[in-house]
Amino acid sequence: MSPKAAAAAQAAPPPPPPLAVPVADSHTHLDMQSTTVDEALALAASVGVTTVVQVGCDLNGSRWAADTAAAHPSVHATVALHPNEAPRIVHGDPDGWSRQGARTPGGDAALDDALAEIDRLAALPQVKGVGETGLDYFRTGPEGKAAQERSFRAHIEIAKRHGKALVIHDRDAHDDVLRILKEEGAPERTVFHCYSGDAAMAEVCARHGYFMSFAGNITFKNAQPLRDALAVAPLDLVLVETDAPFLTPAPYRGRPNAPYLIPVTLRAMAAVKGVDESTLATAIAANTARAFAY
């Protein structure tokens, strides 16, 4: 590949045609994107994405999310320790999500301290959710499961106590995530971010009133199980997200994602649901506002 072709492959995709009905990006990471917050929000608004939910994954990122939401009316925050962050804290490893830059002592006490800070942030009015929390068996092996589960249960309790939405990261852990939600009692508003289950799991989520948020990977060729899940998901429980800068929808897969690309994913979702894009956008706008109580 020539340097020019390589640069084009990594370039930001062009803005899609605007949506007629404004919607929200229910899960994004503005702090991991190359543009400024103001630039990202302006470009998103120009195509009908007028609200974003900025998601925290560690202490610094959660503080940043809360501060950013306080400064921008179109941004709502969630705060949490990502499932893969909990084992790192327990083992004193600052790599990965953490941006603290120095090794910490670790241990259960360190996790308790971090959870206490998430609890403090969750009380802030601009913080509308607790997450992304949950379980990830893809990147964390058996040695990290205990820390992940303890952290997940603590986040559920925090979300319920503060009356905030619970935003779930579930990767290769469907059965255990559903089991723990049943054991702890799920918050009134629970969102499966980047929904990754099949149609049968979507029916379980629907019975419990869990929101299912679909990302750009629903456009991937190998994602028929996700499309099958979306097809059976009730319209009043469906959200859309970017998870930007990750999961850029086709035909831009591999290039940087951002909230302004929500219309690409939403239009693909509308085709799966067999509804016009404005019908889906109207439902998604109402669902997101209900899920995050804004």
Ranges of each domain in the chain: 30-292
Rounded to whole angstroms, how far apart are CA atoms 226 and 206? 15
Output the six-digit token pair for 250: 């086709």
Does an H or E element contain 75, and which?
Answer: strand 75-79
Fold exhibited by the domain 30-292: TIM Barrel (3.20.20)
pLDDT in tens, the chain (294 residues): 444 544 556 799 999 999 999 999 999 999 999 999 999 999 999 999 999 999 999 999 999 999 999 999 999 999 999 999 999 999 886 544 444 444 455 788 999 999 999 999 999 999 999 999 999 999 888 889 999 999 999 999 999 999 999 999 999 999 999 999 999 999 999 999 999 999 999 999 999 999 999 999 999 999 999 999 999 999 999 999 999 999 999 999 999 999 999 999 999 999 999 999 999 999 999 999 999 999
pTM beyond 0.95, yes or no: no
pLDDT in tens, 162-171: 999 999 999 9
Rounded to whole angstroms, how far apart are CA atoms 108 and 2? 50
pLDDT at 105: 58
* Largest Cα span, the chain: 55
pLDDT in tens, 117-148: 999 999 999 999 999 999 999 988 888 999 99
